[in-house]
């Protein structure tokens, strides 16, 4: 009996201590998360810092031994030389990536709609074979592609690259749109059929107005892929008719390395894709996730 009384008389810890402890744990976890993100951010931004500061250094100061140091005098000659070398190729690259992105997005949208909503014999086999093109290494088919383009008399440079980026972009565009259109309510498709609309009318009147998130994802993907491509460009173009990646390669090569112009050229070549992600980035994740759950 005495032991029981002693136990009952032991004061319980105040209830407010538990919420305070839980709050401290959440605050500590949040701080650790932000510190980890800061470390990752520094790892990503360090190369950008080296690019930026080196691009404003003079020829004598832009050396690997002074890569981390700020320029003693901010010099814009590297930017001028980079712009003179890359500006013609920038125009050709825009003439390549904008049409190829739009054409591949439109064709991928049509393919995705047909494969998602209009079933036909061996539709799954056709879709599987189309996706198989995503997993073929480009290096394995490069020589046959060169012979094919020469046999078809497709001019080298932008015309050849346009055809290649449209063809090789179709599988991923079709996959994205097929998954997206699978989430469109079936009642809308059935209602259009009841009203007498055919496949093209249903696509143009019902499906296409709902496709903005899918088009944002595909256009960003295709624009970035075509802009950053180097393998196709080195095989099917040259410095006179090729995209900016070829001109940047020639700018960065040579026996006498111009580090300031090379770094400035790398920044100039990366600005368009950066702007695309800044302008359309907030719709990118939403477009990717919009077809992940079927309605």
> Any idea where the domains of the chain sit in the sequence?
77-290
3-state secondary structure of 271: helix
Q: Is the pLDDT of residue 280 over 90?
A: no
Confidence of residue 1 (pLDDT cuts 50, 70, 90): very low
Q: Rounded distance, CA 88 to CA 99, Å?
A: 18
pLDDT at 269 (0 to 100): 93
Q: What is the pLDDT of residue 13?
A: 53
> Can you say whether residue 7 is alpha, beta or left, with left for phi > 0 and alpha for psi between -120 and 50 degrees?
alpha
Q: 189 and 206 in contact (C-beta within 8 Å)?
A: yes
- Per-residue pLDDT tens over the stretch 218-271: 999 999 999 999 999 999 998 889 999 999 998 887 656 788 899 999 999 999
Q: Which of 56-70, 183-197, 230-244 has the highest mean pLDDT?
A: 230-244
Who's near 62: CB < 8 A, 6+ residues apart?
54, 78, 258, 259, 260, 263
**First vs last C-alpha separation in the chain:** 65
The whole-number pLDDT of residue 205 equals 80
> How would residue 18 be classed by pLDDT, with cut points 50, 70 and 90?
low
Helices 158-181/212-228 angle, 10° precision: 150
Mean pLDDT, the chain, rounded, equals 84
Q: Copy the structure tokens of residue 218.
A: 């595909």
d(CA 122, CA 102): 28
Residue 269 sits at the vertex; the CA angle it makes with 264 and 275, to the nearest 5 degrees, is 115
Q: Which CATH class is domain 77-290?
A: mainly alpha
Residue 193 has pLDDT above 70, yes or no: yes
Contact 109, 214 (CB under 8 A): yes
Answer yes or no: pTM beyond 0.85.
no
pLDDT for residue 287: 62
Percent of the chain whose predicted confidence (pLDDT) is above 90: 38
In a 3-state reduction of DSSP, which class is residue 74? coil
Q: Which residue has tokens 């046999």? A: 151
Three-state helix/strand/coil letters over 133-187 = HHHCCHHHHHHHHHHHHHHCCCCCCHHHHHHHHHHHHHHHHHHHHHHHHCCCCHH
**Any residues with CB less than 8 A from the CB of 222 and at least 6 apart, and which?**
97, 100, 101, 104, 105, 165, 169, 173
């Amino acid at each position: 009996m005495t032991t029981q009384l002693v136990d009952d008389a032991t004061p319980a810890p105040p209830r407010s201590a538990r919420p305070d402890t839980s709050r401290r744990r959440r605050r500590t976890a949040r701080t650790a998360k932000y510190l980890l993100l800061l470390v990752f951010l520094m790892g990503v931004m360090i190369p950008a810092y080296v690019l930026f500061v080196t691009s404003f250094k003079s020829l004598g100061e832009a050396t690997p031994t002074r890569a981390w140091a700020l320029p003693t005098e901010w010099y814009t000659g590297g930017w001028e030389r980079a712009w003179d070398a890359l500006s013609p190729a920038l125009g050709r690259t825009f003439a390549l990536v904008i049409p190829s992105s739009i054409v591949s997005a439109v064709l991928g949208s049509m393919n995705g709609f047909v494969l998602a909503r209009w079933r036909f014999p061996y539709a799954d086999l056709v879709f599987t074979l189309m996706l198989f093109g995503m997993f073929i290494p480009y290096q394995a088919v490069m020589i046959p592609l060169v012979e094919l383009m020469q046999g078809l008399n497709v001019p080298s440079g932008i015309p050849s690259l346009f055809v290649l980026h449209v063809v090789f972009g179709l599988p991923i565009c079709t996959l994205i749109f097929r998954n997206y259109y699978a989430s469109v309510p079936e009642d809308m498709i059935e209602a259009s059929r009841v009203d007498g609309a055919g496949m093209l009318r249903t696509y143009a009147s019902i499906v296409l107005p709902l496709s903005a998130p899918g088009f944002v994802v595909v256009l960003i993907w295709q624009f970035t892929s075509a802009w950053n491509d180097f393998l196709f460009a080195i095989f099917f173009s040259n410095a006179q008719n090729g995209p900016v990646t070829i001109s940047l390669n020639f700018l960065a090569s040579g026996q006498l390395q111009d580090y300031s112009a090379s770094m400035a050229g790398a920044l100039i070549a990366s600005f368009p894709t950066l702007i695309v992600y800044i302008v359309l980035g907030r719709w990118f994740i939403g477009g990717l996730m919009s077809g992940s759950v079927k309605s």
